[in-house]
Structure 1
Amino acid sequence: MTDYLTVNRANWDERAPAHAASADYGFDRFANDPSHLSDVVRFDLPRLGDIAGQRAVHLQCHIGTDTVSLSRLGAELTGLDFSGESLKQARALSERAGADIPFVQSDVYAARDVLDGEFDLVYTGIGALGWLPSIKRWAETVASLLAPGGRLFLREGHPVLWACEYERTDGIIALHEPYFEQAAPQIYDEPGTYVDTDHQFQHTVTHEWNHALSEIVTAVLDSGLTLTGLVEHQSVPWNALPGRMTKRPDGEWQLTDRPERLPHTYTLQARKPI
């Protein structure tokens, strides 16, 4: 099997400049408005609470918009991602936004080897876990990074959503992809990306995995963390099922017809015992 890290890194390295240049990520808003937060972090605020003064790491931070947003809430942030081009864009954003954030290039599974000390907060956002073949290894990595009493905060696309057939045009919500973690990846070859761009991509193949909600919870518990919260949401930060979703005033998207049928995303929180 082709090394998934090589394949996926090439894809994300090519996506990063297009994402940074897009209106969707809003680099100019971060530069022009010191109070601006990403829509994702703004959605998280009621559950994040006060993170001022906390030492935090954002795993799989991509181009840094959520990382900068968390920094603006007063936390001492470090960003980590496996894509060098993504981190180039993240550093440029951090400089424009006046944020002092170190960004470290690493596969998430090697995070403990490249990061110093322990963290009060490990944050992982939307669209991260699907690039990882083992949720168990991810949870073990998170636990190794947390200080005693430290917190994991994860908001992610719901595995039911990830299992949906997103290109249907008949209005039916159908499960098409694996819901449970599989040893082999789902291999996709898609020409574009999720932002508006004229770029013609060359690295279009990705290797991805789904992880059942029960598998995620069990992995977190087995790593020694204590589950403190699990909320399923009826919205998602992007148009995940084109033609079947409506954008809300807060920037989130949800099913136009009976959104209560589908868990769109979830927020999971856990703590490392003292």
Structure 2
Amino acid sequence: MTDYRTLNRANWDERAPAHAASSGYGVAAFADDPAHLSAVVRFDLSLLGDIRGLRGVHLQCHIGTDTVSLARLGATMTGVDFSPASLAEARRISALAGTPVEYVESDVYSAADKLDRGGYDLVFTGIGALCWLPDIRRWARVVADLLRPGGRLFIREGHPMLWAMADEPRPDGLLALEFPYFEQKEPTVWTEGGTYVETDAVFTHNTTHEWNHGLGEIVTALIDAGMTVTGLVEHDTAPWDALPGQTHRVDNGEWQLRDRPNRLPHTYTLQAVRNPV
């Protein structure tokens, strides 16, 4: 059986150049405006607070637009990703933006072995990252291993309830749960030719393996890894069109369920700190 990392890495390697060229990532704005930040980082500025002088690591950084944004807010950032094509784009964008970021090629589960274990004030993870990992408890241990005592995890993610939704609208307009909410041993296997940005690119590596993780599983994994959860906010918007045909863009630039959006948590922001040793 092909290792899930091999399949998923091929998918991301092929899509990274298309993502960097798309209007959705707005790469040109980083060169044109030295104060420009990614939409994901802008959304959470009030919760993120002052990160000037912090040493941070961004796990699963992809092409690095969020990583550059955090560096522009004053943190010394290292981006980590397992896709060499994504990191090539990330380094190019960092140079284009004039914002230094160090990038390291690594699988998430190996990150603490390749970086400065226990040497970071901040671990950041952005939208659409955790679904690529089969074991959330192992992820939580890596986060704790990277942080110094008192260091902080900051993550905004797609809500596991959203990931469990059927993505095709029903004729009666009802929302339907189709995919696992809780972590399963076996992955959900997807074969899809497109990607989440508008592009004319044609892809050949289209099969991925993904896992959902319940919110309780994520919180419990962090607690068991020696961390204290300090904040959990659920949001009724997402920064991408998660349910095409059922969502619309709202005033903050994000997407929201068109019909009674208070039925569905779209995303969440979670913060936790590593406990003293």
TM-score (norm 1): 0.99
Structure 1: 5+ residue runs without aligned partners? none
User: Could you tell me whether the CA contact under 8 Å between 1:57 and 1:79 is conserved in 2?
Assistant: yes
**The residue matched to 1:257 in structure 2 has which SS?**
coil
Which residue is 1:43 aligned to? 43
Which residue is 2:163 aligned to? 162
The percentage of counterpart residues that share the same residue type is 65
Q: Distance in 2 between matches of 1:67 and 1:183?
A: 31
**The residue matched to 2:57 in structure 1 has which SS?**
strand
Q: 1:52 aligned to 2:66?
A: no
Which residue is 2:203 aligned to? 201
User: Could you tell me whether the CA contact under 8 Å between 1:136 and 1:219 is conserved in 2?
Assistant: yes
Which residue is 2:123 aligned to? 122
User: Could you tell me whether the CA contact under 8 Å between 1:225 and 1:270 is conserved in 2?
Assistant: yes
Q: Distance in 1 between matches of 2:219 and 2:17?
A: 34
**The residue matched to 1:242 in structure 2 has which SS?**
coil
CA apart distance, 1:2: 1.9
CA apart distance, 1:169: 4.7
Which residue is 1:255 aligned to? 257
Which residue is 2:146 aligned to? 145
Q: What is the CA deviation profile of residues 173-229 of structure 1, one whole-angstrom value per residue up to 9, with x for unaligned ones?
A: 110000000001000000100101111100000000000011000000000001101
Which residue is 2:272 aligned to? 270
Structure 2: 5+ residue runs without aligned partners? none
Q: What is the CA deviation profile of residues 38-75 of structure 1, one whole-angstrom value per residue up to 9, with x for unaligned ones?
A: 11000010100000000000000000000001111100
Which residue is 2:219 aligned to? 217
Q: Which stretch of the first structure deviates more once superposed, 30-39 or 112-121?
A: 112-121
Q: Distance in 2 between matches of 1:108 and 1:167?
A: 31
User: Could you tell me whether the CA contact under 8 Å between 1:53 and 1:75 is conserved in 2?
Assistant: yes
User: Could you tell me whether the CA contact under 8 Å between 1:169 and 1:243 is conserved in 2?
Assistant: no
The aligned length equals 274
User: Could you tell me whether the CA contact under 8 Å between 1:39 and 1:250 is conserved in 2?
Assistant: no
Which residue is 1:97 aligned to? 97
**The residue matched to 1:58 in structure 2 has which SS?**
strand
Q: Distance in 2 between matches of 1:102 and 1:124?
A: 16
Letter in 2 for 1:273: N
Letter in 2 for 1:246: H
Match of 2:245 among 220, 233, 243: 243
TM-score (norm 2): 0.98
Letter in 1 for 2:5: L
Which residue is 1:106 aligned to? 106
Structure 1 consecutive aligned stretches of length 4 or more whose deviation exceeds 3 Å: none
Which residue is 1:20 aligned to? 20
**The residue matched to 1:96 in structure 2 has which SS?**
helix
Letter in 1 for 2:89: Q
Q: Distance in 2 between matches of 1:83 and 1:71?
A: 21
**The residue matched to 2:44 in structure 1 has which SS?**
helix
